[in-house]
Structure 1
């Protein structure tokens, strides 16, 4: 029962209504893949502080989970002699795996952590008093313990479960989460310029990440789902691509709204024409749209195939799998944000209807007031099952096989051990997006590049295309130390209701220029390579100005309610 509790979504939060308090956000919202109309969060406007509810919930929930893990472990010791050894090891292995994941999360978000001895009973007054006096332990020391814990539980966890068993942690999950943890801190050791850089440690950790990812691959348990777009639908369960997956379920929620997506956590991602109120507040950004490669494998600033007036044409298929393509039917209605289109066709109603997905001045009243501010809408995983009553339960994929393949490729690339296995790992992910076998190299832009710097750009771009809106982008921004660059760019969108502005803009639809794409695959809208040089400044609507303060914001603040009662705890620098 305690193991089941540890899989509550509050302990693995990603969406804004999965936390235990108000004012929460989806983790994608703190990245350059995301736009929320013209709004910013404290993570994106530079005002992050120790009272932030997201940081507070992440800290509190994670330590609650760690204490639950510790309780399971101590109770198991008491009944060890009476238990079946295999059952004991399975329970103990799961508890230690979850605990390793939770400590890894704390290390990634907060740096030095408080290590809670499993023998401290925080349910007693004596235990609580002892806990108040704990201090933070150096992150690099704890990291070694976490990596060792992942190694230990591999021997305790099964390779896989039968169909009739509860699908808990496996050897593959332990290998995969070890790879993610090692890769994160290897990247920091390589790219940090604020005192954490250490080339020899970076190389060691990249080696650990590569080995762990390869061990996961060599289990031969997992494979890529046949269809990229179908993988994310709520109707897809038990995919062979899932390594660490937590189901969402209304039926088994026991009345808890946090165990499935509901209400505004659903409608905020839906187009406005079929939904109306509270629709379209979580949007893919122009940054994300411009990051998808063209079908020749080149970025938009290099490819002769790219036409900014038709941004979905000749693009990697994941572009239109992730973002709703203009002029296509979505949720029973044509999605067309053009500013000169007041009516669109509804296949659901079989007639022309008001185009409330365009902020065009041609529509009077406020029915289109909250249409997409940048003309984009999320498609990944969304189908008509998301509509009324606005309750949905797609699997939460903490870790999937495509991520492991790309982690393996990245770690080997950073080691400059670029061989056929590295290229095959990337190409397996890319070929699946095109719906072909990896060997069909004439039917997709297979990667053949072996030069390290160029391959780094390819891998970073591949991760962004493959994993968009899977709540992982912010960790990539942090570990590559590029948040200080891309999270200080503006969020751009379309002009609001104004005849003169919108008529002028339509001369350039959709974009009147092509931005430069940098070495991490990110667009820089202040530098254009084709079209009207001042387009993004003069014609586009600057919705907001992101702000990221480095190095301060590469770590989150420890909640002030913790530092106030624990005298030996100091907050992270700058908070």
Structure 2
């Protein structure tokens, strides 16, 4: 799929009128301006690639593992994304890291989308059919929804911008989070109605209607828990129905690890959307970050969370082997975590150059054929954003909250665990018991895919979970105000008082 989209960043510059020298070229050949661009379908294809490229930033793709450094899953020894500051409670409007990057890079992408849509609306060329126009619009609105969800889920109230801005209106106030959510769902509904009905893996790397459905399910599952952690049944019903539809279109990858390896991502029947990379010009530091730097080290409690092969907790099961923690364990442990060194078989061993502070590293995203990893190793694995495994977990969670642990909930969980030969759950669980099992399964199935932070926030258990972590490496300290991050102070300052800081950070 990645061969079909060349993610080339195109800089579309604004032209500012003012005092200038006579020799100034208002349309220089080395820049792209709206006055000379958006003149052909080829221009729109190039601009579409630039919209997709806005997702290639660290925090939206190859840095997904770092987001687990904001949770009980991992330790970020380099403070990447300011994860250490967050975990220790040293989090404020000037912290920087992901606090600033997620905000700024989201709006960079949103600006590209808005500019694309404005020019698409103005374009009269006959080389773009009405059906193609709808597909274009559906794709970029899908990406805008993804970016606004980053803002909505982390900051809450933010500026809602759906048109290109100029000097007269560039200072925008924030709007209520509910209004942002409404725009997200409207964008996704448009995508569901107008994007290709092909499965994502058969759609050449372009977002499909199913991609929009999966993202809408994630958005609504987050929104359903509101500010209290008590889910809204109406939203959960929508989540359930969206997931049920997707479960009929996609199939689990036979091998868990194939979802994340370059050679087996193409045409993978589990993947519903990914951020594409392609050597030699569009690569990412997956192998460097996780294989050599050990930038986000799995915590011991994360390793302990994986059950033994009999389905019993490690430490309780008679299969527990304290001398070999990987023996008799859920196979996903060895497919997610490595101890001391990366090992893919004879001749494919790598000893990271950096210290492993917890004794562990993340093997999940590493490409065996790229060994030895180095300080500057770049690779072309795609960043998997949406996949069937998550959809099955969302279905089970929503249906359990609606109706309790019925046969369909048990089946979804059994099918997911069967992929790695883990036993099905025993009959007789209460709703509360099944809820805990589903939450546990999300943690191990989706480890380091950047979703643990969302989960702790939406379940409103971040405080109890994070403050209970005991580690000699770092002291965890979570306050209720961290359920919403502060807006970057740089943006507050630039707004001249138009943009107001979130209440707990004034």
> Quick check: 1:94–1:168 contact (8 Å CA) kept in 2?
yes
Confirm whether residue 90 of structure 1 aligns to residue 135 of structure 2.
Answer: yes
Matches within 5 A, 1:208-247: 208-218=238-248, 220=249, 222-238=250-266, 239-247=268-276
Q: What residue number does 2:501 align with? A: 571
Structure 1 residues 285, 38: closer, same or farther in 2, change over 3 A? farther
CA contact (8 A) 1:431 1:446 kept: no
Q: Aligned residue for 2:196?
A: 158
How big is each residue's C-alpha offset from its partner over 1:35-87, in whole Å with a ceiling of 9 and x where there is no partner?
23597621111111212132111111111111211111111211257431111
What's the CA shift string for 1:371-416, capped at 9, x where partnerless? 4222223222322524245222211101011111111111111123
For the 8 Å contact 1:449–1:455, the answer to whether it is kept is no
**Deviation, structure 1 residue 301:** 5.2
**C-alpha spacing 1:116/1:9, structure 2 compared with 1 (3 Å):** closer
Partner of 1:130: 169
Q: 1:175 aligns with which of 193, 213, 216?
A: 213
Distance between the aligned counterparts of 2:314 and 2:364, measured in 1? 22
What residue number does 1:385 align with?
370
Say if 2:245 is the partner of 1:315.
Answer: no
- Separation of aligned partners in 1, 2:213 and 2:157: 23
- Partner secondary structure for residue 114 of structure 1: coil
The residue aligned with 2:87 is 44
Match of 2:304 among 290, 306, 321: 290
Query: Aligned pair 1:418/2:405, yes or no?
Result: yes
Task: Specify the alignment match of 2:155 in structure 1.
Answer: 110
Q: Describe the superposition over 1:271-322 as per-residue Cα deviations: whole angstroms up to 9, x where unpaired.
A: xxxxxxx643431111111111222222235433324343223221111221
1:472-511 to 2 correspondences below 5 Å = 472-490=451-469, 492=471
- Tell me, in whole angstroms, the C-alpha distance in 2 between the residues paired with 1:475 and 1:304: 34
Partner residue of 2:486 out of 551, 554, 557: 557
Alpha-carbon distance in 2 for matches of 1:223, 1:555 = 36
Hey, what's the Cα distance between the residues in 1 that align with 2:200 and 2:469?
Answer: 50
Selected match of 1:249 from 278, 288, 296: 278
Distance 1:247 1:38 in 2: 26
Inter-CA distance 3–356: structure 2 relative to 1 (3 Å threshold):
closer
Summarize the Cα distance change of 1:422–1:114 in structure 2 as closer, same or farther, 3 Å threshold: same
Residue 28 (structure 1) aligned to one of 65, 68, 73: 68
Contact 1:187 1:202 in 2 (8 A): yes
Q: What secondary structure, in the 3-state scheme, does the structure 1 residue paired with 2:490 have?
A: helix
Assess, with a 3 A threshold, how the Cα gap between structure 1 residues 141 and 329 changes in structure 2: closer, same or farther. closer
Measure the CA separation in 2 of the matches of 1:18 and 1:543: 21
Q: Deviations over 1:162-221 (max 9, x none)?
A: 989632111111110000000011123551xxxxxxx5x722221221122223223x2x
Tell me by how many angstroms 1:323 deviates.
1.7
Counterpart for residue 269 of structure 1? 290
Change (3 A) 1:329 1:151: closer
CA separation in 1, counterparts of 2:60 and 2:162? 30
5+ long unaligned stretches in structure 1 = 20-24, 192-198, 254-258, 271-277, 333-346, 358-367, 435-442, 493-541
Deviation digits for residues 508-566 of structure 1 (CA, Å, limit 9, x no counterpart): xxxxxxxxxxxxxxxxxxxxxxxxxxxxxxxxxx122122222x111121111211122
Gapped regions of structure 2 (runs ≥ 5) = 1-45
Aligned equivalents of 2:201, 2:84: Cα separation in 1: 43
Counterpart-to-counterpart distance in 2, 1:447 and 1:381: 32
Give distance in 2, aligned partners of 1:573 and 1:187: 21
- Aligned pair 1:462/2:475, yes or no? no
Q: Larger radius of gyration, structure 1 or 2?
A: 1
Hey, what's the Cα distance between the residues in 1 that align with 2:296 and 2:320?
26
- Aligned-pair RMSD on alpha carbons? 2.9
Aligned-partner Cα distance in 2 for 1:212–1:349: 41
**Secondary structure of the structure 2 residue equivalent to 1:433:** coil
CA distance in 1, matches of 2:489, 2:156: 16
Shift of 1:448: 3.7
Secondary structure of 1:14 counterpart = helix
The equivalent of 2:233 in structure 1 is 203
Q: 1:394 aligns with which of 381, 406, 420?
A: 381
Residues 356-379 of structure 1 show CA distances to partners (whole Å, capped at 9, x for unaligned) of 78xxxxxxxxxx9x5422222322
Higher helix share: 2
Output the CA distance in 2 between the equivalents of 1:231 and 1:295: 22
CA distance in 2, matches of 1:211, 1:162: 19
Q: SS of the residue aligned with 1:324? A: strand
Between Structure 1 and Structure 2, the one with more strand by share is 1
- Who is 1:61 aligned against? 105
Contact 1:323 1:377 in 2 (8 A): yes
1:432 paired residue number: 419
Q: 1:305 aligns with which of 319, 322, 335?
A: 319
User: Aligned equivalents of 2:117 and 2:129: distance in 1?
Assistant: 15
Cα distance in 2 for residues equivalent to 1:178 and 1:290: 32
Where does residue 546 of structure 1 map in the other structure?
476
Task: Report the count of equivalent residues.
Answer: 450
Partner Cα separation in structure 2 for residue 152 and residue 267 of structure 1: 38
